Amino acid sequence: MRHFYLLGQSNYALSVILDTLREQFPREKISVEIVPNVEPEKNDSLVWPYETPGVETNAVWWEDWKPAPDIPCLLGSIGRSRQAIVQFFAEKFSIGPERYENTVHPTAVVPVTTRLGRGIHISPGAVVAPYAGLGDFVVLNRACSIGHHTELADFVSINPGVTVSGVCRIGRGVTIGSGATVLDQIMIGDGSVIGAGSVVTKNIPAGVVAYGVPAKIVREV
């Protein structure tokens, strides 16, 4: 039996993460203890199902949780709440990045030369080219592509169908919307947001929203 803690509860993310665990370990029994840190009345994701055949789950409210030191943690979000969840459990339980496991779907392509941080999630059909680097808590959604020698800093979110070309530098906490394309050797500064379907042809500074073809800055975050 493999045991995991899943910290935070976004049911959107749980359905994806638990399915990935089932595919990663198809011949093993899996037990996941979910640790919510947001009151149910403030969590609008709870109406969506996440139960996955072959994965046993139970939920323990964070104030009642007594973590064992040898059970790995997973991050229960693949969206914008990730940084807040990581900070919450670091402050309350001193859980650092080293406690987090990666979830990588078997249909993703991740070369042996890829440098992986902690708490990463990689969804089905994602392709990473050689010598890319993924920081802590990076999310690669379905059917995205990350180019060779490209660096994604901590908490970067790559949405479905995105193409990030080679030798790019994507800053901490950047979100790139579905279907966007980032051309070769582009730099995007920390915390910026690239709109869905955009084509990024020039460097984007930190802390802005940019979209269009070609992408242009429209406002600050």
Catalytic residues, by residue number, are 148
In the sheet that 181-182 helps form, which strands lie side by side, from edge to edge?
127-128, 145-146, 163-164, 181-182, 199-200
Largest interatomic CA distance in the chain: 50
Q: What are the DSSP calls for 40-87, one per residue? A: GGG-TTTTS----TTEEEEE--GGG----TTS-EEES-SSTTHHHHHH
Q: Which of 124, 133, 130 is nearest to 103 (CA)?
A: 124
The 8-class DSSP code of residue 99 comes to G
The 8-class DSSP code of residue 102 comes to P
